[in-house]
Amino acid sequence: DTSSVEIPSEILECFKNEPKQILQNFTSFTEGEQKTYLDWIYQAKTEETKASRIAKMLWKAEKKLRFRDKEDSL
């Protein structure tokens, strides 16, 4: 997939509730990494899982962790 990443408006709304640095960290990831996070979020079967994945993505972006990075590697 060579299309550029467009962050969905509902995800951007979530970033608005967080420090600006978190969005900056997320957009500093490669497009492939951003797509990996977004695909993972939108593959959720329930809204609860989707919300949980968004929260995890925000947390990891705050720590500048890529999708495959382990939380315990901090």
Using pLDDT thresholds of 50, 70 and 90, give the confidence band for residue 73: low
Instruction: Give, rounded to a whole angstrom, the gap between the first and last alpha carbons of the chain.
Output: 31
Q: Which residue has the higher pLDDT, 3 or 40?
A: 40
pLDDT at 41: 97
pLDDT at 70: 79
pLDDT at 3: 57
Residues 7-65 pLDDT 10s: 999 999 999 999 999 999 999 999 999 999 999 999 999 999 999 999 999 999 999 99
pTM of the shown model: 0.87
How far does CA 34 lie from the centroid of its chain? 6
Report helix, strand or coil for 30. coil
